[in-house]
Amino acid sequence: MKGYHYVGFDVHKKTIAYCVKTVEGKILDEGVIPANRRGLSSLTQRLPRPWSGAMEATLFTGWIYDFLLPHAQELKVGHSYQLRAICASKKKNDRVDARKLSDALRCDLLPECYMAPAKVRELRQVLRYRNLLVRESVRFQNKTAGLLMEAGAEYNKGRLTGDRYFHELLAGLAEVPVSVKDLLGMAHESVKWFNSLQRRLVAGLREHPLLQDRVERLMSIPGVGEITALTWALEIGEPHRFGAVKRAVSYCGLCSGQNESAGKSRRGPLSKQRNKHLQTILVEAAKVGVRWNPQLAAVYEQARFRGSNRNEATLAVARKLVAYLLYVDKSGKLFVLNSDRA
């Protein structure tokens, strides 16, 4: 490894602190550059070859990782939560953090996290934006109902998104001020706009060649819909990185944290170290999946029979759903429903 160099990058919104060290730990160069492509290009030209780099996972890591990867012998992204234990010190600043990252990489102590391919991250961003549009649509639907309640109007909430029903309802509100009617009209149009956008995004993802066959296989599981399959495929990335179902369950945030000391073990609530997007969609799918999948329904009933409450039983169903999704994704086979098994 003689002649090899290790570079730590402490990434921020506007600046990037870097530190270059040799195998022996000697600092060759350190400083601060602007967090843009011009600054990174200037840095890569003067970095000694060959070099290996490490950075912490942040909101801005993606494009920096893609830019530096062709220039590096190896590039790793550190798990931000686990790096706290390594980088905790009395004195903390950008320069020290860059040095710590370089040392962690040099000593092979960097807690590396999975970095999905650039195309998967691009599609994942589209799906997460679609989820944002759905949340905004729901907010405007609730606002429409709130305005109607404030005006004392009677309405059917389940039909508010329909054009014909909404316009008939609006025409019958004789005692409602004109300003309120204008607000109701704007809210209704906003809901229509958000819904049309999210449908267009989902259609593009569904027909993408990178996802089409994979999503069809995942949807062969009774109770797994299009959004659940898309979320699983894009948030999991490469399914073979999970050697066991327990690891996938933990990644999805469907198990509690463990605190054990002196032979005493205590389980807490669901761990906050999870993929929140997968956790949300799997819990929602578990609530609906028991209606369509008899195996999932049997898991729910067994959990209830053992004394679990409804939330705990739903989590048991979600964990079983993870096992089904992981099997189908890793095997590349369609799911076959076996009525003799739960």
How far, in Å, are 160, 172, 267, 276 from residue 165 at the CA level? 7, 11, 51, 36
CA distance 291 to 300: 11
Beta bridge partners of 261: 264
- Report whether 202 contacts 130 (CB < 8 A): yes
Query: What pLDDT sits at residue 315?
Result: 94
**Is 156 in the same domain as 239?**
no
Query: What pLDDT sits at residue 236?
Result: 95
Cβ of 168: how many Cβ atoms within 10 Å?
11
At position 125, the amino acid (one-letter code) is Q
The contacts of residue 181 (CB under 8 Å, 6+ apart) are 170, 173
Query: What pLDDT sits at residue 6?
Result: 96
CA distance 332 to 214: 8
Considering the domain boundaries, does residue 336 fall inside one?
no
**Is 98 in the same domain as 79?**
yes
Query: What pLDDT sits at residue 196?
Result: 95
Q: Which residue has the tokens 């179902």?
A: 245
**Is 97 in the same domain as 133?**
no
**Is 319 in the same domain as 224?**
yes
Considering the domain boundaries, does residue 33 fall inside one?
yes
CA distance 74 to 28: 19
For helices 61-68 and 37-46, give the axis angle rounded to 10 degrees. Answer: 40
At position 80, the amino acid (one-letter code) is S
Per-residue pLDDT tens digits of the chain, which is 342 residues long: 456 899 999 999 999 999 999 999 999 999 999 999 999 999 999 999 899 999 999 988 999 999 999 999 999 999 988 887 666 667 788 899 999 999 999 999 999 999 999 999 999 999 999 999 999 999 999 999 999 998 888 888 889 889 999 999 988 888 888 888 999 999 999 999 999 999 999 999 999 999 999 999 999 999 999 999 999 999 999 999 999 999 999 999 998 877 777 777 777 778 788 899 999 999 999 999 999 999 999 999 999 999 989 999 999 999 999 999 999 999 999 998 775 544
CA distance 1 to 303: 55
State the residue range of the domain holding 54.
5-106
**Is 173 in the same domain as 225?**
no
Considering the domain boundaries, does residue 310 fall inside one?
yes
CA distance 26 to 95: 15
Considering the domain boundaries, does residue 265 fall inside one?
no
Considering the domain boundaries, does residue 112 fall inside one?
no
Considering the domain boundaries, does residue 196 fall inside one?
yes
Beta bridge partners of 8: 19, 54
**Is 100 in the same domain as 139?**
no
**The CATH number of the domain where 83 resides is what?**
3.30.420.40
Beta bridge partners of 258: 267
- Report whether 15 contacts 32 (CB < 8 A): yes
- Give the total number of structural domains in the chain: 3
Q: Last residue of some domain: 106, 133, 165?
A: 106
Considering the domain boundaries, does residue 113 fall inside one?
no
Beta bridge partners of 9: 18, 55
CA distance 16 to 98: 9
Q: Last residue of some domain: 86, 106, 126?
A: 106
**Is 47 in the same domain as 102?**
yes
User: Token pair of 275, please?
Assistant: 């993929």
Tell me the pTM.
0.88
CA 241 to chain centre: 16
**Is 123 in the same domain as 192?**
yes
CA distance 159 to 310: 30
**Is 301 in the same domain as 226?**
yes
**Is 190 in the same domain as 236?**
no
Query: What pLDDT sits at residue 342?
Result: 44
CA distance 317 to 310: 11
Considering the domain boundaries, does residue 338 fall inside one?
no
Sign of the dihedral through C-alpha 112, 235, 286, 130: positive
Helix (H, G, I), strand (E, B) or coil at 34: strand
Q: Last residue of some domain: 67, 85, 106?
A: 106
- Report whether 267 contacts 274 (CB < 8 A): no
CA distance 328 to 245: 12
Helix (H, G, I), strand (E, B) or coil at 68: helix
**Is 140 in the same domain as 217?**
no
- Report whether 226 contacts 215 (CB < 8 A): yes
**Is 202 in the same domain as 237?**
no
